Structure 1
Amino acid sequence: MIKKYTFLGYLLILFVYANQVYGQNEKEDKNQNDLGYTQLKALIANQKTDSLKVKTLQSYLSESKSRADTLGMANAYFFLANLIKEAKLQYADSLIEITKGKKYINYPARGYLLQGNTQYELGKYKEALELYLIASEAAKKNGNELQYRKLRFNIGLLKNTAGDRNEAQIIFLEHLDFLEKNPNLKGPNSYNKTLFALTDSYIYDDKFNLAGDYINKGIQETLRTEDLEVYSHFVVYSGMHQYFSKNYTQAIDSLNKGKELIKKVDDIETRTAICDYYLGRSYRALGSIEISLQYFKNVDHTLKETEDIIPELIDTYDYLIADAKSKKDLEQQIEYINTLLRLDSIRHANQIYLTKNINERYDTAELVAEKEKLIDELQEKTFLKEETIAILILFLITLVILVIYFFYRSHANKRRFLNLLEEQKNKDQGQPEFNTISNTISKKEEIDIPEEVIATVLKKLHGFEESVRFSKKQYTLNSLAKELQTNSAYLSKIINVHKNMNFANYLNNLRVDFAVGELTTDKALRSYTIKAIAEEVGFKNAQSFSSAFHKRTGIYPSYFIKQLNNG
């Protein structure tokens, strides 16, 4: 059963964007603490074109600036960000800058939300998650319960896509309970999509009984509220549920119905390609191979035409390549392999599972070798144009270079990881470290400081390193010098000569070495976010921690943690 990605994946952007996060039009105006937002929304709604809306907003922004009306400026930035996509991050930054620390019920949370949605659309899901968390905290701090819940729901969607289904299910169930206990906030749009999210998570978590319950409930609710769009997707999910439950005839019936319904409400061809994909698999399970191949060819046609890649659909080429191979159709095999390679590269640029590449189904070297063999056989039967041969050779050279590069990088990272573990083992066994007094005192003659002063400062530095106070407190050169009862000039020179680095690198390296030791021995710490680990060992943020860790060890902390957990 192939369930690496979810159907929800291709709907996720729709749901995330619709919320600004979703339900922008579902009673949110009641949460506004200013009339300006409602008036501005109505004002631009009356403009017939986007250009007129932008002009109106820019004029409103200028007037708000002249009045020093921060809330008016924030509202203008918010609407401009949604109209001018290429400047969304710039407007979001401006919005956050002017409202940070204010007690507006919707700001600065909306600014972080805009940034999060932009990062999501760029495929930067980790960054999106961090921004959603910041927005969530801001909404909660400013007392906007509905906005907080919507952001939590978005975080649940990301967790579900990332495979953290249990956590996602808890968030979805909490959100469903919140909507049911607050009927004044329970818009049909948000409620139906929450049911859909739960259905998706359960079906891909093999919880088929629960998935079936929510499919039935979702169908009833979408029919009752005349929500044809989400209803059509529930019908498709009903077919997928039947497929995973091995009820293939019922699956075919529901998938065909869902496909026709989706055509009426959605002109994006990839939606129907999902139906074709599961129809192909259902017919194949029933032994109707030729019929199944026709559906897989429909999927192939859609993917080539749209290049809108749903990772799940890539498996279509497993069946098509196998069929061409059984029929000894060499040209068709090459075409399908080329399409697979091209679409898979697109998937890499757009999907969260960047490591889930073509190696899951084919060893890259074997795939290249098979392709070369097919080309050789085809050349014996027909003459290829010189231009075609040149293109194929260039393609193969590029592919081989990429394979070698990724292999080398993986090997180098692994070697650095093992070296780091060995160094940590030596440290635990009491072997000398780079920063001990015995290894540094030999350089005392290089600076114009009395020997006894150098020895005293180095001894105190050793005590400072052993106490790991650097992980609990932020230090400057002056503050550490004061704590060690010396002056900053002496301390700076001693660290530069005897530690062979400046003060900032010295402090960062102490914290990185401490982090390595803690992560190696403390499994619980590995489950923290990078941001939380950074703060735990003394860094201000995740970026500075990751940068210092990589500079010190040659690998990033996320890779180090992953290797420890896999060991």
Structure 2
Amino acid sequence: MQKSLLLFFISFLLIIRISAQTKPIINEEYIDNKLEELRFDEKISDNDKEKALFKLKAESEKIGYNWGILKSGRRVIEIYERQNKNKEIIKLATELKKIDAGPKAARTMANLYRASALSLGYLGLDEASLKDFRTAVAYAKKIEDPDVKNYTSGLIYSNITLYFFNKRLENKSYKDSIISYHKKSIAASELITGKHEEITTEKKYSNISFNYVRLAILYLEEANKPGNIEIAEKYLTKSLNIVNKYNLLENDNVILMNQLSWLYLEKKEYKKTIEYANLARDLEKQFPDPTNRVESFEFLSSAYTELGDTKNAKLYMDKYTHLKDSIRITEKNNADQSFNVLLSDSKKIEKRKSLKEIITVSVISCLLLFAVIIYWKRKNKILRKKYEKLITKLNSIDENQEISSNENLLQALENFEKSKKYITENISLASLANDLDTNTTYLSEFIMANKNNTYSEYIDNLKIKYILQKLVTDSSYREYDMNSLAEKCGYNSSKDFVKAFKNETGITPLYFINKLKKDNLYLNLQC
């Protein structure tokens, strides 16, 4: 018995010793090796790679290895960039910016600030974006290797144009800044020798190709100006030649195909428009990105409209409108959350103790119960206030709108509003752009900049405002059913009309009509 116990004890000690020997020693060398393994492991999924990188980041923090913290965090951001997770990029970048890993981290810091700046710009936080871009440029200048420095600088110069692009409708001179930075990016990229193991010839020409596409977009936005279509075509042809010569297959090629689709839309070669938009959609399946997909839908809808194919035109316009609205809602939510991240500077919220949680839940439960009790009493009062606010708004419509930088287009929009053509059921972005002698992309962004709405929201606003004035000034309208009212202001169904009415006013059309009848209002409004 004693011999058996002794053998068991010896075996147990051996197992412990073997386990201790096989357990890796967590040090800087171990972390660096693991990071390199993950970097070149193409079999592991992004999700698993993200978890492994966060684990390495945590281990680096335990041993105070700043370079490991920075590298593992930057690799996570690279994953987020592929997934368009702008909110997550900003949150993690804000944390990593505080890490000091010395001069060897210049490239990593440059790319960290560049990624943060792009995400901030995509979410409309323009000034914070520009600040990070400038910091990225400063770090890029500290990079010692010439090829790495030129490649990193080329990316930053190309990306910084986002700031000026977002504000180009406010200041016409920003177009010159965009062109200047794209040319600086091309010049920096052309200095790359192609001899660096990582900064390959393909990377060099991928960035040059992308800059040509972005330059083409500038001229397509003003396609009505003499010579602009030809300049845009020259840049797009250069980009396409590079893609074919070096067999480049990246997300940027989706953008190229979409811009070729736009080019042929402006040239009125609508079958080619459809061809390139469909090529973009096929590529987008490999590199999913809703912003590229929505652009393809827009060009397809416009092309089919011009070809008289109303069925496909409506199909793709519906897809475009739905996806565009979804993107805008997502961007707004992400922007709000990212703004909070910037304000809080990524401070971790301390965990509440269980007792505090119980108290909080109890208080919330009581408040909810109280809210339910008074809800029905207050509902009518709230609706009444909304109604009164709406009536006041209708009485104080200001026709002297502020003039933006593009006075001609704004005047054309005002003429369109006065003509009341928006009550036509099938009024589309493409048809309105054609009537106003501009293109769909520019008109959509112009409406967003000057009316603070997407195209569909802008049209809904006009339609509902029209029917509100009719209901107030013409009592016969109050006797119409919902289908008739929907038809009067250009909706295909009463369901769409009621939804739009409530979105615009906060109350239903039935409630509004009943209150009008009850209050017997006689208002003198100018239509």
TM, length-normalised to structure 2: 0.49
